[in-house]
Amino acid sequence: MPSLGPLPSPLPFTEPFVGSLKKAAPFNHQDDPNWYAHDPQCLISESAVNSFVTGTGDAIYRSLAPLLEATNHELILVTCFWARSSSLDSLNALLRKLSEKAISRGTGKIKVRLCFSSSSLFQKLFHTQSTQGQTYPSSSWTKQFGLPEPSELEGLDLRISSIFILPFSVMHPKFILIDRRSVVLPSCNISWEEWFEGAITFSGPIVENFFQFYKRFWCRMDVQSLPTSTIHSDYPSPQHVNTAAPQDLRDIVPHGHTITPISTTSSTIPTIFLPSPHRRNPNFHPFASSSAISAPPTPLNVFVLNLLAQAARTIRIQSPNLTSPPVLSAILKSLGRGVDVQILTSERLMILEQLVTAGTTTSRCVKTLIKRYKKLARAEAAHLATDEEAALSAPRMGVLKILYFEPLHGSKPRGKEEGEPQQSHLKMMIVDGEVVVLGSGNLDRASWFTSQELGVAFFDKGLVGQVEEAVDRGMKGRAKLVFDGSRLVERPKQWTCMATSRNRSS
């Protein structure tokens, strides 16, 4: 990789992040992977962002087809859940095209690596408990995984493997590496769920971190270099990483879902790679208060907590679930400092999984959060009423707003969705309009304590604004406001609830 020289660094966010990870190095050195444990600065890099897509998983995979079909030498796809679905149909069509490309050009096979963690309860119960994982023979590809017959993929050097560690250690990241030059970071799996998802495509020095993550955990061996024509001393600019143009997506991205070409003032932007290794011990403390429960100091966990602690004005969160005690405590502290917090989550998503991995549900945690917020607001009001000096100088509490995802025209049974997302599966955090975190990590207990996760933080106001606008367009009419703390806090509104809410209650 070429020498980058000094990188522009958003110090208010990165300095406490790097400092925290250096202190945690002895603990993180035991992780798998752990190459960054004693040099967390290596996680700070740059990227050139091309596009941000919202839609269902199927729509996103179809929109990515032109980019993925441009693969010349190597395609690495890592996902969590694998199931027969329209997303898998899109992947199968891609594999056939890549095989035909390799055969027609006669210059050797295209390497394809498909990595996943979960395909069924039976598979997880009887999976090998080694982090070396399990590799599947070509004779199982079609029947077990729904892939084309091996005879249809003779132009590919294809390998499919899985890693899962009982009881709860699912490998949850989702990313796609194209020729080690560009990356897709989607929130969706290869699965049938019609959920609201997002995917960002980018290139640049950050790609090396993704490759190191794959090499050290999923591959665990020396990896052959790609042809020199594939990897140059300079990195491709965003326009060289093409997805379908917006006008070509009318039949691909229905119901107002969007593909947004990204335009930033700089060719590359500061970017942080945020892995979170899996752990077998869930570290349950059923009788401890949420403020006393500490999450493992993984880069992703540490960065998110530092981000919440450093927020000065606004925090916007979109997460499928919200059951992580450290996150809930950090949100309350931010509100107490006067930071406005907006949360969009799901009222009923994977209830059984939440009960098993967290002992609670998102709806219960939301009710508790609202109760604690009201208590703090009442205490602040009483204090300000009796202390004139504090009333003049002290910062008021931030405004808490909570929304639940709600599909247009109500929920539909499986097979009847007609492209309408039934839940929100996007994982997004935006702070002060300056930094956005995307990736696989939910704000639930499983993601914070046992699952392997992977996120990326992008530092660019222009990018953040375009991502927000795309999400707002995709979410229009698909959320209900369930709590608005502005009724309790007397202070000017810094921003209002996004124009997606329909039903309102307090």
Judge if the upstream peptide bond of residue 33 is cis by omega within 30 degrees of 0.
yes
- Average pLDDT on 87-91 reads 96
- The model carries a pTM of 0.90
Q: Crossing angle, helix 325-336 and helix 299-310, to 10 degrees?
A: 20
Token representation of residue 29: 């050195």
- Average pLDDT on 378-396 reads 68
Q: What is the pLDDT of residue 366?
A: 96
Q: What is the pLDDT of residue 158?
A: 98
The domain limits of the chain are 36-270, 273-504
- Average pLDDT on 289-307 reads 88
Is residue 249 within 8 Å of 63, Cβ to Cβ? yes
Tens digit of each residue's pLDDT (9 = 90 or more) over 115-159: 999 999 889 998 999 999 999 999 999 999 999 999 999 999 999
Q: What is the pLDDT of residue 256?
A: 46
Give residue 327's pLDDT band: very low, low, confident or very high (50, 70, 90). Answer: very high
Report CA torsion sign: 457, 459, 461, 466. negative
Proportion of the chain above pLDDT 70, given as a percent:
84
Q: What is the pLDDT of residue 492?
A: 44
Judge if the upstream peptide bond of residue 167 is cis by omega within 30 degrees of 0.
yes
C-alpha span between 156 and 99 (Å, rounded): 5
| E-strand stretches of 204-244 | none
Q: What is the pLDDT of residue 286?
A: 63
For residue 19, is pLDDT > 80?
yes
Q: What is the pLDDT of residue 152?
A: 97
Q: Crossing angle, helix 11-23 and helix 299-310, to 10 degrees?
A: 140
Tens digit of each residue's pLDDT (9 = 90 or more) over 311-323: 999 999 999 999 9
For residue 67, is pLDDT > 90?
yes
Is residue 77 within 8 Å of 217, Cβ to Cβ? no
Tens digit of each residue's pLDDT (9 = 90 or more) over 355-376: 888 889 999 999 999 999 999 9
* Residue-by-residue DSSP string for 280-308: S-----TTS-GGGPPPP--HHHHHHHHHH
For residue 183, is pLDDT > 50?
yes
Per CATH, 36-270 and 273-504 having the same topology is answered: yes
Residue 232 vs residue 157, higher pLDDT? 157
Tens digit of each residue's pLDDT (9 = 90 or more) over 402-411: 999 999 988 9
Tens digit of each residue's pLDDT (9 = 90 or more) over 164-180: 999 889 999 999 999 99
Query: Which of 248-262, 379-393, 453-467 is predicted most confidently?
Result: 453-467
Q: What is the pLDDT of residue 214?
A: 97
* Residue-by-residue DSSP string for 408-461: TTS---TT--TT--SEE---EEEETTTEEEEES--BSHHHHHTSBEEEEEEE-H
Q: Which CATH class is domain 273-504?
A: alpha beta
- Average pLDDT on 183-189 reads 97
* Residue-by-residue DSSP string for 373-390: HHHHHHHHHHHHHH-HHH
For residue 37, is pLDDT > 80?
yes
- Average pLDDT on 335-353 reads 92
Q: What is the pLDDT of residue 332?
A: 97
Buried b (16+ CB within 10 A) or exposed e, 101-129: bbeeeeeebbbbbbbbbbbeeebbeebee
Proportion of the chain above pLDDT 90, given as a percent:
70
For residue 306, is pLDDT > 90?
yes
For domain 36-270, say whether CATH 3.30.870.10 is its number.
Answer: yes
Give residue 229's pLDDT band: very low, low, confident or very high (50, 70, 90). Answer: low
> Which SS3 state, helix, strand or coil, does residue 216 take?
helix
C-alpha span between 215 and 194 (Å, rounded): 31
Q: What is the pLDDT of residue 378?
A: 87
